[in-house]
Amino acid sequence: MKKVIIIRYGEIYLKGDNRNYFESLLIQNINYVLKGFDYSLKRIRGRFVISDFTEEDEIISRLSYVFGIYSYSLGYAVKSDLEIIQKTALNVVGNGKTFKVSTNRADKLFSLNSQEISAQVGGFILENIPNLKVDLHNPEFIVYIDLREDGNTFLYSNISEGVGGLPVGCSGKGLLMLSGGIDSPVAGYMMAKRGLKIGGVHFFSFPYTSELAKDKVIQLSEVLSKYNNGMDLYIVPFTKIQEKINSLNTTYTVILMRRYMMRIANSLAEKFGYKAILTGESLAQVASQTLESMTVTNQASYLPVFRPVIGMDKEEIINISRKMQTYDISILPYDDCCTVFVPKHPVTKPSLASIEKLEKLLDLDILVNEAIENTELIRIE
């Protein structure tokens, strides 16, 4: 009897001839999060199995951050022998007074079918733990038996939900505009769940925003990096550009700021190999997130712009931020550059022609290039 962690994937099953690529990438990502631990990882049909480990609590905790994992269970691996299976089942009996046995028989050569195995094992449990009762419809715990084709059987009574999705890295690289608020980390999480390797870009306007605001974004990136196999964070000095935009004293200040951010993000993405820009914008949440505002912002980008929270309300976004453990960081009371120099009545239906006239007046090319050249890279492992 050997203690094991059984890992299952979901959407990868649908990948047909490409499934081996996705499985291999998921193995690579599992190995990444388990660096420094002693363990063995084996691939079997439709499963991964971790064995020969000691620090099970920490390993299980780290698996909860790996996109591509649908569920996992701590249990035992034994030979597919009925007597051994029966004895081992006593070790996976859960808490409660009622139970049932659920058997999956992938090994079709085994002498008993699934129902017969469940009946034999259930009877053995009742003989040895007489205070238990069988309840096939609403049991307090389930003893799972999984007979594999290789002659081994897994037994467990717990199934922990994974984060699902696809392995990070299978869909390319995207650069997340990370403000420090609630929405943008959620946007990054959701695109990482679709297999996108995320980098972050933060626009820093010292002294209008403090070092504490920068530290807050670093903390958010550290949480995201757990789901993302590490993360590169680019800190762009944005003060001079914001001051110049603010000098116009226009209702277009926020839209102008967003368009220059988008241009800088595109330049950094091209330089470092990202193929898309990600934002945490939600339709109609603020003036810069109306349909018209986002349209003129898009026109400053030659890369595709993904907005995964576009159709969500604030409560939905907050629920995800709590689940991914960024909410408490996001609400720390440190202003980001998006909250400074905001006009009292920002325009909600901007005109592209008007914006382009203002941009000619600004003539910010030199300052934009300077900001890109002085961007700070922080590598988070």
Kindly report, residue by residue over 4-31, the tens digit of the pLDDT: 999 999 889 888 889 999 999 999 999 9
Task: Tell whether the model's pLDDT for residue 127 goes beyond 70.
Answer: yes
The answer to whether 29 and 65 have CB atoms below 8 angstroms apart is no
Structural domain 2-161, CATH architecture: 2-Layer Sandwich (3.30)
* Domain definitions of the chain by residue range: 2-161, 173-380
Q: What is the mean pLDDT of residues 302-325?
A: 96
- pTM of the predicted model over 0.85: yes
In the CATH hierarchy, which top-level class contains the domain 173-380? alpha beta
Q: Output the pLDDT for position 366.
A: 96
Name the nearest CA neighbour of 146 among 252, 217, 49.
49
Task: Tell whether the model's pLDDT for residue 336 goes beyond 80.
Answer: no
How many Å apart are CA 215 and CA 378, to the nearest integer? 11
How many Å apart are CA 105 and CA 107, to the nearest integer? 5
Q: By three-state DSSP, how is residue 255 classified?
A: helix
Name the nearest CA neighbour of 31 among 44, 40, 20, 22.
40
Instruction: Kindly state the tokens that stand for 253.
Output: 């200040």
How many Å apart are CA 281 and CA 343, to the nearest integer? 19
Q: Output the pLDDT for position 134.
A: 95
Q: Output the pLDDT for position 348.
A: 87
Confidence of residue 116 (pLDDT cuts 50, 70, 90): very high
Q: Output the pLDDT for position 8.
A: 95
pLDDT tens for 215-265 read 999 999 999 999 999 999 999 999 999 999 999 989 999 999 999 999 999
End-to-end CA gap in the chain: 36
Q: Output the pLDDT for position 31.
A: 96
pLDDT tens for 272-283 read 999 999 999 999
